[in-house]
Amino acid sequence: MANVPAELKYTREHEWAKVEGDRARIGITAFAQEQLGDVVFVELPKVGAKVTALKTFGVVESVKAVSDLFAPVSGEVVEVNAELPKKPELVNTDPYGQGWMLVIKMSNAKDVDGLMSAADYEKLTAGGGH
Amino acid sequence: MTDTTASTPLKRTPLRDVHVKAGAKMVPFGGWDMPVQYTGIIEEHRAVRRAVGLFDISHMGEFEVRGPDALATVQRLCTNDARTLEIGQVQYAALCYPEGGIVDDLTVYRLADDHYMLVVNASNIDKDWAWVTSHSTGRAEWKNVSDETALLAVQGPKAEALVARLADRDVTGIAYYHFGRGAVAGVPAIISRTGYTGEDGFELYVAAGGAERLWAALIEAGRADGIQPIGLGARDTLRLEMKYALYGNDIDQTTNPLEAGLGWVVKPAKGEFIGREAIEALRARGIVRKLVGFEMVERAVPRHGYRLMSGGAPVGVVTSGSFGPSVERSIGIGYVPSALAGAGSELAVEIRGTAHAARVVKTPFYPSHTKKA
C-alpha cells in the first residue's frame, strides 16, 4: 500500500500539493513513482512561469515511459527543485520530501478546494493500479 | 498506462505465476503477459552487468525443421549461410521478403545432420510460422515447438560459474554461438552460449514442464552471487546499450538488412534465398540511410518514433531510445541518411516540439563482454 500523507491534497493524475499560506509545494505521489519505475529525467518550467490548474506543466520520464505532470493549482512558479536535474531518482526515493518539484504562488486559493483529500486519494489508488 | 483493451487473452509462459508471486510488474508484450520489472529496471540492469541475472524468455518461438531438404529450406529462407553451421553451432540471420524487407531476425541452431531449430521473436511466431511453412521446399518437415519449449537466459559475469555448478557436463568449453546438450539442475536442456545483453552467459532451452524447477534451482544456487530475476525492461536497456536490433522497433518489413547494419548476416555468395535479388540491387545502388547509435548532448530522453533532425530539417527517426543505466546517459538508435551516419555527426532529436542536441557515436555504447569464439 503506497504512502499517502494525510496533510497533503491530491489530483486524480497523482500529483500532491502541500499548501503553505498562498503557496503550494507540489510533486508526484508515492503511488505515481511506483507505477513509473526508475525516474531518469524531469522537465520542469522555470521560475516565473505560469501554470494552470489541471493543465500540464512538465514531464517526468522513467526508463520505460513518459508521463505528463499536471498542476494541482494555478499560479506562478516561485521555486523549482534544482536537485532534480542531477538526481531525478529523488522522485522515487523521497516523493513527498526531496523529490518535490515546484512551489507555486497560487492565483486562486479556491483551486485547493477542488483537490482530493488523502482519504479520497487512497480510495482512488486502492486497486493498486494494474 | 494500462492496457485493458486486449481483444484476445494474453498468453502465459510456464513461469507466469512464479513472476507474479515474486512481485513482478506484469505487462502485455507481443500478446504475452510478461514481467517488465521485479525490483526496478536500473537495479536489474546493473545486476546483469555486475553479477548475474535470470530471464524468462519462454515467449520466444522455436520451430524445428528436419529431413533431407532441411538445409536447402533453411538456406532458401535465411539470409545467412547455414551450410557453414556445424552440429552444435548457432547462427544469427534474417528472414526477408522478396522486396528485401525483414520478416524477422532469428537464430538458427544445427541440432543434427538434417535437423535445425529456428528461434524467432515472440510477437512474430504466427507470421513466421506461416512464412516458413509456405516457403518450405522439398522434403522438410516443420514442427512448431514454441508452446512446449521454455527458454531461460542466465546472463552476466557470474553466469558461467553458476550454470557450471548445476550442469551435469562441462559448459565452460561451449564457445560463443555454440551449444551442447546436458542437464541443468536435473532438467535436460540445450545449453546455448548466446544472449541479448552483451554479457557472457547461456540460454537454456528446456521442456515447459521443467521450467519452474530450473528457475527455482538457478535462483537458489545463484543467491550468493547476487542473482536477480530480470524483466523485459532491463532486457531492453541491456540490448540497447549493445545496439542489438529489436524487431518491431529498429527493423521490420519496411527496413532492409543492409541499412539496419545486418549486412554481415547476408551472404549472397551462398546462392539463392528469398530477398537476395532485391538486397543485391539495394547494395549496388548504395545504402541510402543507416541505423546509427547516438547519445544525447542535452538532457532529454529519445524515444521510438521521435524525429531526428539536422540543420533544422527532419532527416530520420529514432527507432529505440532510453536512459542507458551502464553508460549513465540517454542513448538511442535510429535511421539517418548515410552522409550523416559517421561517428561525431551532429543531430538533434525533436522532443515535445523542441530540438535537443545529439551526436552519432561508435557502437556498442557499452563494451561487449560476450565470450569470444
Number of domains present in the structure of chain B: 3
- What's B30's DSSP letter? T
Q: Is there a contact between B352 and A59 if contact means CB atoms under 8 Å apart?
A: yes
Q: Residues with Cβ < 8 Å from B95, sequence gap 6 or more?
A: B77, B78, B79, B102, B103, B104, B105, B106, B128, B131, B132, B274
Residues of A in Cβ contact (< 8 Å) with B37: 37
Identify the burial level of B305 via C-beta atoms within 10 angstroms of its C-beta, where 0-12 means exposed, 13-18 middle and 19 or more buried.
exposed
Q: Is there a contact between A40 and B330 if contact means CB atoms under 8 Å apart?
A: yes
- Identify the band that residue A1 occupies on the pLDDT scale cut at 50, 70 and 90: low
Among A31, A36, A38, most B C-beta atoms within 10 A, so best to mutate, is A38
Contact A27, A34 (CB under 8 A): no
pLDDT over 70 at B229, yes or no? yes
Among B42, B232, B304, most A C-beta atoms within 10 A, so best to mutate, is B42
C-alpha separations of B35 from A15, A128, B5, B69, B229 in Å: 27, 16, 18, 39, 10
For residue A124, is it within any domain?
no
Query: Would an 8 Å CB–CB cutoff place B41 in contact with chain A?
Result: yes
- Mean predicted lDDT score pLDDT of chain A: 94
Task: Assess whether B46 and B167 both reside in one domain.
Answer: yes
Which of B141, B166, B201 is the endpoint of a domain? Answer: B141
Average pLDDT over residues B176-201: 98
pLDDT over 80 at B335, yes or no? yes
Higher-confidence position of B280 and A129? B280
C-alpha separations of B284 from B1, B129, B258, B280 in Å: 45, 31, 11, 6
Q: Is there a contact between A63 and B237 if contact means CB atoms under 8 Å apart?
A: yes
For residue B270, is it within any domain?
no
Average pLDDT over residues B70-87: 98
Q: Tell me the β-bridge partners of B149.
A: B207
Q: Is there a contact between B1 and A40 if contact means CB atoms under 8 Å apart?
A: no
Residues of B in Cβ contact (< 8 Å) with A40: 301, 323, 330
Task: Assess whether B81 and B102 both reside in one domain.
Answer: yes
Q: Is there a contact between A38 and B36 if contact means CB atoms under 8 Å apart?
A: no
In this prediction the ipTM stands at 0.87
For residue A14, is it within any domain?
yes
Task: Assess whether B134 and B198 both reside in one domain.
Answer: no
Q: Is there a contact between A41 and B301 if contact means CB atoms under 8 Å apart?
A: yes
Predicted pLDDT of residue B29:
94
End-to-end alpha-carbon separation of chain B, Å?
43
Checking DSSP bridges between strand B228-230 and strand B53-56, what pairing results, if any?
A: parallel
- Mean predicted lDDT score pLDDT of chain B: 96
- Identify the band that residue B4 occupies on the pLDDT scale cut at 50, 70 and 90: very low
Average pLDDT over residues B162-171: 98
pLDDT over 90 at B2, yes or no? no
Residues of A in Cβ contact (< 8 Å) with B324: none
For residue A130, is it within any domain?
no
Question: What percentage of chain B reaches a pLDDT higher than 90?
Answer: 97
For residue B316, is it within any domain?
yes
CATH, residue A16: 2.40.50.100
CATH, residue B234: 3.30.1360.120
The domain of B34 spans: 16-60+148-241
For residue A44, is it within any domain?
yes
Task: Assess whether B74 and B205 both reside in one domain.
Answer: no
Task: Assess whether B48 and B80 both reside in one domain.
Answer: no
Query: Would an 8 Å CB–CB cutoff place B320 in contact with chain A?
Result: no
Phi, psi of B357 (to 5 degrees): -65, 140
Task: Assess whether B180 and B306 both reside in one domain.
Answer: no
Average pLDDT over residues B59-76: 98
> Mind telling me how many Å the CA of A67 is from chain B's nearest CA?
9
Query: Would an 8 Å CB–CB cutoff place B5 in contact with chain A?
Result: no
Task: Assess whether B157 and B128 both reside in one domain.
Answer: no
pLDDT over 50 at B256, yes or no? yes
For residue A60, is it within any domain?
yes
pLDDT over 70 at B1, yes or no? no
Average pLDDT over residues B336-355: 97
Identify the burial level of B329 via C-beta atoms within 10 angstroms of its C-beta, where 0-12 means exposed, 13-18 middle and 19 or more buried.
middle
Residues of A in Cβ contact (< 8 Å) with B299: 41, 85
The domain of A77 spans: 9-116
pLDDT over 60 at A73, yes or no? yes
Task: Assess whether B235 and B154 both reside in one domain.
Answer: yes
Task: Assess whether B168 and B114 both reside in one domain.
Answer: no
Residues of A in Cβ contact (< 8 Å) with B295: none
Average pLDDT over residues B141-158: 98
Predicted pLDDT of residue B202:
98
Q: Is there a contact between B41 and A38 if contact means CB atoms under 8 Å apart?
A: yes
pLDDT tens digits, one per residue of A84-112? 999 999 999 999 999 999 999 999 989 99
Task: Assess whether B232 and B101 both reside in one domain.
Answer: no
Number of domains present in the structure of chain A: 1
Task: Assess whether B167 and B42 both reside in one domain.
Answer: yes
Query: Which candidate, B208, B207, B217, B224, places its Cα nearest to that of B184?
Result: B217
Query: Would an 8 Å CB–CB cutoff place B224 in contact with chain A?
Result: no
Average pLDDT over residues B356-370: 98
pLDDT over 80 at B126, yes or no? yes
Q: Is there a contact between B36 and A64 if contact means CB atoms under 8 Å apart?
A: yes
Query: Would an 8 Å CB–CB cutoff place B330 in contact with chain A?
Result: yes
Residue among A41, A64, A67 whose CB faces B299 most closely: A41
- Identify the band that residue B3 occupies on the pLDDT scale cut at 50, 70 and 90: very low
Q: Among all residues of chain A, which has the CA nearest to that of B37? A: A37
CATH, residue B98: 3.30.70.1400
Q: Is there a contact between A37 and B325 if contact means CB atoms under 8 Å apart?
A: no
Which of B90, B121, B141 is the endpoint of a domain? Answer: B141
Task: Assess whether B67 and B56 both reside in one domain.
Answer: no
Query: What's at A9, amino acid-wise?
Result: K
Counting one residue from chain A and one from chain B, the pairs whose CB atoms sit within 8 A come to 48
pLDDT over 80 at A129, yes or no? no
Grid cell 546483469 — which residue?
B48
Dihedral through CA B293, CA B297, CA B299, CA B303, nearest 10?
-20
For residue B22, is it within any domain?
yes
Number of alpha helices (DSSP H) and beta strands (DSSP E) in chain B: 8, 19
- Identify the band that residue A130 occupies on the pLDDT scale cut at 50, 70 and 90: very low
CATH, residue B318: 2.40.30.110
Predicted pLDDT of residue B299:
85
For residue B131, is it within any domain?
yes
For residue B257, is it within any domain?
no
Query: Would an 8 Å CB–CB cutoff place B218 in contact with chain A?
Result: no
For residue B321, is it within any domain?
yes
For residue B366, is it within any domain?
no
Which of B91, B110, B141 is the endpoint of a domain? Answer: B141
Q: Is there a contact between A38 and B301 if contact means CB atoms under 8 Å apart?
A: no
